[in-house]
Structure formats: C-alpha cells, structure tokens
A and B are shown apart, each in its own frame.
Chain A
Amino acid sequence: EAQVTQNPRYLITVTGKKLTVTCSQNMNHEYMSWYRQDPGLGLRQIYYSMNVEVTDKGDVPEGYKVSRKEKRNFPLILESPSPNQTSLYFCASSLAGGRPQETQYFGPGTRLLVL
C-alpha cells in the first residue's frame, strides 16, 4: 500500500532533550516536506527536500534540522526542543516539486508535547 509513515505518533519530552521524528514513504517520491500545525495558524512548512541531499528551509525552520540521505526517508530533528515546539507535525511527499498535476500525500501526524 502506498503510504507515508511517521514515528512516533505521540511524544512527550522535556526541554532540551534531543529527539528525532522519522518519516518514510514507499512511493519513490522525490519531494518531501515537513509541516507543523497550530491552532489558528494552519499548516506551516518547516523544511522540504527536492531530492536526495537537497534540502531547503520553509517558513518556520528555526529550531529544526532535517537530512535526506535516502530517497524514502526524511527525518525531522529537534536538537534542543522548547515548549513553543509543542505542535502537531506532518510529513508529506509528492512525486516531484513543480509539477502541476502532482498531489501531496500526508502521513498520519506526530503529536509532540515539550514540557
């Protein structure tokens, strides 16, 4: 089944404790992206990747890191989480960026609470 998977689905952590949220897709997609969703602010793009070893900042990249060493995986790293990073995080992928006919597919989300 074609899908985007994220782990963990729920995470409670404390300020400053490094964490990684994994994202994997099995559709051989080139474009992958991370979003955070906050009440009243909608989804905002954190980082995206056009292909392996190609990543770029979205609208809210501060406090986050990403890597794209393999096509299928795009982990989101919080080196020193803070309470303002408490949010619902979504990973998404599409076949390629810049193609009008391409749909974004979303993972189920990761709910993060930073105490």
Chain B
Amino acid sequence: KQEVTQIPAALSVPEGENLVLNCSFTDSAIYNLQWFRQDPGKGLTSLLLIQSSQREQTSGRLNASLDKSSGRSTLYIAASQPGDSATYLCAVQFKASGTYKYIFGTGTRLKVLA
C-alpha cells in the first residue's frame, strides 16, 4: 500500500537560511510527485511537479528532486524569506486497481523568522 511521509513535521529557521524538506513514499511505481504550498485556511498552490522519468525541477528559489528507486523527494528552498512561511505538502500519483489515485503526506509546517 502506498504511503507518503514528510519529515520534519515542523521547522523554524532564521531568514536567509537554505533548507531542505523531505518526502518519502513506499511504492516506487508512481506517475509523478507534486509539491504544494498551503497557507493557513487557504487552498493548495502547486509549486513543482516532477514526472516519474525526471530527476528534478526548478522554479526560482525552489528545487525539487526525485529518486524513485529510494522512494524519496526533497524540496530545497534557497535563501528563505518570511513569506515562505506555510505548510508544504507532497503528493504522489500512482496506479491502483486499474485507476489513478493520489496520496498526500501530512506536510511540513515551515516558519521563517525575520
């Protein structure tokens, strides 16, 4: 059964630090892995999507990597800012019983201190 885990559950860093958020999944047969940002009381905003055939994706200060064989993805945030404070979620899309499903991790709550 596919399971997605995110470590750490919460993280507090001073402004300007580079940081890494981790996501692991138990079944490597995935179609893609997506990183989302969620602000308190708000919906989810897609940050980066990595297809199963890709190793990494970059957008601005964000870089996401994918290692399917080890069941891991990391989200790297460079030069963190207070505006980066949010909960970061990863999700995998995979095939189950002939159809396509998504499983989310429980998220990492990030706080960047000014």
Contacts and interface: CB of A to CB of B under 8 A. Distances in A.
Report which residue of A35, A42, A103 has the largest number of chain B beta carbons within 10 angstroms of its beta carbon: A42
B63 interface: no
Contacts of B103: 45, 59
A45 B100 contact: no
Contacts, number: 64
A34 B87 CA distance: 20
Contacts of A35: 104
A97 B49 contact: no
A104 B34 contact: yes
Nearest to A109: B43
Contacts of B32: 100-102
A2 B7 CA distance: 33
B18 interface: no
Contact of A103 (B42, B43, B46): B46
**A interface bracket (residues with beta carbon within 8 Å of B):** 20 to 34
A75 interface: no
Given A31-B100, A44-B104, A45-B101, A109 B34 contact: no
Contacts of B99: 48, 50, 56, 97
Contacts of A100: 31-32, 51-53, 93
A58 B34 contact: no
23 contacts: A33-B102, A40-B106, A42-B105, A42-B106, A43-B89, A43-B104, A45-B101, A48-B99, A50-B99, A50-B100, A59-B103, A90-B43, A90-B44, A97-B100, A98-B95, A98-B100, A100-B52, A100-B53, A101-B32, A106-B36, A109-B41, A109-B42, A109-B43
